[in-house]
Amino acid sequence: MKDSLDELLKIIPNKYILTVLIAKRARQISEELKFLRQVMARDPQTMAIEELLNGRITYEEEKSK
């Protein structure tokens, strides 16, 4: 798990933003599966982490005014 965390922090160096991003995507996955009435084979958080590691989630920080 430590290796995964290190890889995630290379993608998004701020651990707080990383946590929020994964949580939001996990919620989206959960809602999508409920809507489609599908049973989750894996945990939504795990799915969100895998998406981030595989480059399927992008993140761009807002610029301050």
Model confidence pLDDT, tens digit, residues 13-42? 999 999 999 999 999 999 988 877 777 678
Domain ranges of the chain: 2-53
- Helix 15-35 to helix 44-53 angle (10° resolution) is 120
CA angle 38, 41, 45 (to 5 degrees): 100
> Which pLDDT band, with edges at 50, 70 and 90, does 1 fall under?
low
Q: Rounded mean pLDDT of the chain?
A: 87
Distance of alpha carbon 60 from alpha carbon 63, whole angstroms: 9
CA angle 51, 15, 13 (to 5 degrees): 80
Q: What is the pTM of this model?
A: 0.79
